Amino acid sequence: MRPLELFDPDAATDAATDAPPREEDSWRLTDIYPDFEAWELAFDAAEAMLPGLEAWKGRLAEGPAVVAEALAAYFTALREVKRVYAFASNGSNIDHRDAPGRARSARARMMFTKLHSATAWMEPELLALPEGTLAGWMETATELVPYAFRLDNTLRQAPHTLGDEAEAVLALSGDITGSAGAIYDVFKSAELPFPTITLADGSEAKADYAGFMRLRGSALREDRAAVMKGFFDAWQPFQGTLGTALNAQLQSDWFRARARRYPTCVASALDGDNIPPAVYRSLVDSTNEQLPVLHRYLRLRGRMLGLEGDLRYHDLYAPLVAIDRSYPIDVGCQLALESAAPLGEEYVATLGQALRSRWMDVYPRPGKQTGAYMSDAAFDVHPYVLMNYVDTWGSVSTLAHEWGHAMHSVLANAAQPFHTAKYTTFTAEVASTFNEMLLLDHALKTARDDQERLYFLGNAVEDLRTTFFRQAMFAEFELAIHEAVERGEALTGDTFSERYLALLRRYHGHDEGVVLVDDHCAREWAYVSHFYYDFYVYQYATSLAAAAQFADEVLSGADEARERYLGVLKAGGSAYPHDLLAGAGVDLATAAPYRALGARMSALLDEMEALLA
């Protein structure tokens, strides 16, 4: 799923109607359970498994057979809990007004907590075995072969796993260390007052989240400027409070890193998926190397908008090119199928069958979850895709994105057992953005005229700006403020604003006159919720870079490149994500993928400039 910063207005519920969806446009949750009665029976059966998981507590030292039994029981329970959750959560998300549906979803979520409580003893008990015991069993016991990756990951994190008493204290601190983000969420969602602004036509509008997302893309420059200033100025009176909240989050991250014996916050955050910190450093360094490509695009944007020499930050979401064309869902699905052709006949056939099998809920309607996502919690059934499709090119692109996720799960689930099928975010966004790139390639090849071709090119380079450069800028800011805390520096709202504005201006070429960034834009950091997520947002940029390198290789027509890419999807979560990508030829700890992305953006700009000439 896309991050909040990349929320697609085309996927919003503004077009929702009370008309019931056609059967073929709604997903069929009865593939999971035939009715609510069957779900209740499955819920009770899954819940009844949980107390039994403690039957192996205190017994793991008996030998590898007991360890294998305990792991098999855990994954069997997790499989059933996730299936129960898939039915309840997806059912609730198509109508949040349905109180019984919300209750089912809440009950299903609570079962994950119960499962965790019932098995929290497992990894500490494994690590309490005499040194070398578990590693020796893994070398000789065939029962443990299916769980080798899981156990290797447990052993890998042994230096950062504390004793029982210390682990218990860290667990108790969870609510405290997460309180800064909770306070921030309540403040920004419920208590932050937003101003009313006057638009160019004399009407008034609220400069809140919805108004900001809508009006920053207005064709009227006065409205874009007014909403951006009004929105960012709203945060100014609370800069001290928000600075204290973000600093508290950083202190919490540094506390957890030191408690678990990590040298830095970024090393702590990335170690869960065994991502080398060099990946993060390479992203930051390589993005700065590619800033001239971004500046080239921004100068072109200024010329296209007639603002050469006066392009400002509030102009970055203004529409560049318009086309008068609608993309009904059948057309969108056909484009997704046609664009997937480079992945081979089997992939296309599987995608086509899925698109015809009611795995997707298509249109917005009152009460439905906004945006778009893919859910693969029902391992034994199939993935589900939620859309809010409104017949625009943005909706087609979102469709390709989410079905990239869905096909990743289809391939992984077919090739892997349950316990190694689930992949991480680090590889998940590669599959989705890769399919968007295939869609763009197909659209450019089949465009009806130069205006349409220019429209597709403009959308593509704008996506690279927001999904790669903007997210990488967030990642650099997050790294810098964590490092400041590690050095013992005092951080306040004022210092966050100073640091953020300097970074914003460097990325956008303020001093070179590329984009003029007004002082009030300094408060943008306060609006970005990802800074409370402990090094999460960087993965959108790394995934896009990886997808760009894969796409260039696959679109060249090399069968070997296609098989390497499909091999990553089929591997699911059977290996560490960085190792999977590096083994397929895309090493995100090096500059190569980011340079490939820069070259891709340059090629798109070449085409745009040729058309404009």
Q: Residue 248: inside a domain, yes or no?
A: no
Residue 604 included in any domain: no
Point out the least confidently predicted range of 167-176, 305-314, 388-397: 167-176
Q: Is the CB of residue 96 less than 8 Å from the CB of residue 369?
A: yes
The separation between the first and the last C-alpha atoms of the chain, rounded to the nearest angstrom, is: 37
pLDDT band (50, 70, 90) for residue 120: confident
Residue 563 bears catalytic tag: no
Select the more confidently predicted residue: 6 or 55: 55
- Residue 150 tokens read as 């899981």
Comparing C-alpha atoms, which of 424, 397, 365, 350 is closest to residue 575? 424
Tens digit of pLDDT for each residue in 82-109? Answer: 999 999 999 999 998 899 999 999 999 9
- The per-residue pLDDT for 16 is 53
> What's the pLDDT at 555?
93
- When divided into structural domains, the chain yields a total of 1
Q: Is the pLDDT of residue 371 over 90?
A: no
74 burial class (0-12, 13-18, 19+ CB within 10 angstroms)? buried
Confidence of residue 10 (pLDDT cuts 50, 70, 90): very low
Label residue 12 by pLDDT band (50, 70, 90): very low
Residue 6 in this model has a pLDDT that exceeds 50: no
pLDDT digits (tens, 9 = 90+) for 548-588: 999 999 999 889 999 999 999 999 999 999 999 999 999 99
Catalytic residue among 125, 402, 476, 524: 402
Relative to beta strand 373-375, strand 384-386 is antiparallel
**Any domain includes 347:** no
Residue 519 lies in a domain: no
Once rounded to an integer, what is the mean pLDDT over residues 206-228? 94
400 vs 185 pLDDT, higher one: 400
The closest of 593, 579, 468, 486 to 267, measured between CA atoms, is 486
Query: What's the average model confidence in pLDDT over 154-182?
Result: 80
Please give the residue range of the domain that contains residue 111: 32-161
Q: Give tens-digit pLDDT for 250-305.
A: 999 999 999 999 999 999 999 999 999 999 999 999 999 999 999 999 999 999 99
Say whether pLDDT at 335 is over 80.
yes
Q: Which residues contact 166 (CB under 8 A, 6 or more apart)?
A: 259
What is the 3 state secondary structure string of 159-209? Answer: HHCCCHHHHHHHHHCHHHHCHHHHHHHHHHHHHCCCCEEECCCCCEEECCH
- Is residue 332 assigned to a domain? no
The predicted-structure confidence for 195-204, as pLDDT tens digits, reads as follows 999 999 999 9
Percentage, residues of the chain above pLDDT 90: 83
587 inside domain: no
pLDDT of residue 20: 67
For 332-339, what is the mean pLDDT? 97
* Predicted pLDDT at 210: 85
CATH classification at residue 128: 1.20.140.70
The 3-state secondary structure of 498-525, one letter per residue: HHHHHHHHHHCCCCCCCCECCHHHHHHH
79 assigned to some structural domain: yes
In this prediction, residue 241 carries a pLDDT of 94
CA distances to 29, 92, 390 from 365, rounded to whole Å, are 18, 13, 11
The C-alpha torsion from 174 through 179 and 182 to 183, rounded to 10°, is 180
pLDDT level of residue 3 (50, 70, 90 thresholds):
very low
pLDDT at 19 over 70: no
480-512 tens-digit pLDDT: 999 999 999 989 999 999 999 999 999 999 999
When pLDDT is cut at 50, 70 and 90, the band that residue 1 belongs to is very low
Return the amino acid letter for 287: T
124 and 161 Cβ atoms separated by less than 8 Å: yes
Is residue 37 pLDDT above 80, yes or no? yes
The answer to whether residue 111 scores a pLDDT higher than 80 is yes
**pLDDT higher than 70, residue 62:** yes
Residue 62 in any domain: the answer is yes
- Distance, in Å, from the CA atom of 390 to the CA atom of 326, rounded to the nearest integer, reads 9
Query: Does the pLDDT value for residue 15 go beyond 60?
Result: no
Neighbours of 456 (CB within 10 A): 22
Average pLDDT over residues 59-73: 97
| Mean confidence (pLDDT) of the chain | 92
**Residue 18: per-residue pLDDT:** 59
Predicted confidence (pLDDT) at residue 8 exceeds the cutoff of 50: no
pLDDT band at 17 (very low <50, low <70, confident <90, very high): low
Please name the amino acid found at residue 84: V
